[in-house]
Structure 1
Amino acid sequence: MGRAIKITRTDMSAKDLRRAAKRTKDGRVVRRLLAIALVLDGVDRETAARSSGMDRQTLRDWAHRFNAEGIEGLSDRNGKGAKPRLSPKQQAQFVAWVEAGPDPVKDGVVLWRCVDLQARVEEEFDVKLHVRTIGKYLTKHGFRRLSVRPEHPKTDREAQQTFKKTLPAS
């Protein structure tokens, strides 16, 4: 078995850690603070870890982070996410296509659908994207799905215009 990692950070006592845990809103950080406070009180690592809902190895890892960074090190680190498959230059070109609309002769469609944009991206940039990813790029660049307002097939436009003209000005 490995050795227990000593808590080398001496700027906070177990009582200070519990006080900090009361003020912390993130429940995960609170559990980690309380586990380290138990270790500083002399409780064995297995009991301290189990009472805080983790195993000994996890407590050991958090002890390393606490020693290196203090309370700030006990927060979860979120990753940056996946790197975009299209470069900023390619995304600008993509936006230009959407704004210009499709060319019926070249693209074979009269309005863009995600499937059509997917084919165009693959053809132009040699990058395969899922249809949902195309939708995410559209949303990212401020495009929304617009649909034409429904109109009854027997609508009489002249009657509507006549009716509008007779309404009193508001």
Structure 2
Amino acid sequence: MPIALRADFAAGGLRAAARQTKDAAQARRLLALAAIYDGASRTEAARIGGVTLQIVRDWVLRFNAEGPAGLVDRKAPGQAARLNDAHRTALAAALESGPIPAIHGVVRWRLIDLCQWLWEEHRVTVAKQTLSREVRALGYRKLSARPRHHAQAAGAVDLYGMARPSSRLRYAGRVT
């Protein structure tokens, strides 16, 4: 026995909603359900929608629960976050205080070191890319020392920034 559609809608109302929507997928779903209201079989509705019977059943369930708005494509929920608020608070505290070389074995935090620290302290496995995203979301940025050539003279940078005299060459003409 197929699941009945809501009684507070009719085929004409669904067709009007399909005309007004900007979402093509929602319009296709509304038209398939309008055909069911007109007495078409679920198989014919599936053909109209270009889907299987199971998907038509899912549309009917969503439409009955939420109305026409339930037929809009939704964003997939994705995987749940690895770090909760307590982990983020502890991570922020560790970033603020910095590593203790005798305990942590490092003199500055790298992402891989923080991944290891999270595992040792909270038994949470996090990839470097994920941790980078979390650290940036906490408002921290990667800082590194400006690279300096090992043979650079002490005053070379100061001389480079000074104004230079103009070295324009005047064109005197062609020499023959």
Q: Provide TM-score, normalisation by structure 2.
A: 0.75
Percent identical pairs in the alignment equals 38
**CA separation of 1:84/1:15 partners in 2, compared to 1, >3 Å: closer, same or farther?**
same
Deviates more, 1:134-143 or 1:45-54: 134-143
Shift of residue 9 of structure 1? 2.7
Counterpart for residue 126 of structure 1: 123
Q: Does 1:101 align with 2:98?
A: yes
1:9–1:67: 8 Å Cα contact kept in structure 2?
Answer: no
> Which residue, 48, 59, 63 being the options, matches 1:62?
59
Counterpart for residue 6 of structure 2: 8
**CA separation of 1:149/1:63 partners in 2, compared to 1, >3 Å: closer, same or farther?**
same
Name the Cα RMSD after superposition.
Answer: 2.7
Alpha-carbon separation, structure 2, partners of 1:69 and 1:136: 35
Larger radius of gyration: 2
Residue ranges of structure 2 left out of the alignment (5+ in a row)? 165-176
Alpha-carbon separation, structure 1, partners of 2:160 and 2:117: 46
Shift of residue 141 of structure 1? 1.3
Shift of residue 95 of structure 1? 1.1
Counterpart for residue 28 of structure 1: 25
Alpha-carbon separation, structure 1, partners of 2:62 and 2:160: 74
Q: Provide TM-score, normalisation by structure 1.
A: 0.77
Deviates more, 1:42-51 or 1:150-159: 150-159
Alpha-carbon separation, structure 2, partners of 1:166 and 1:130: 48
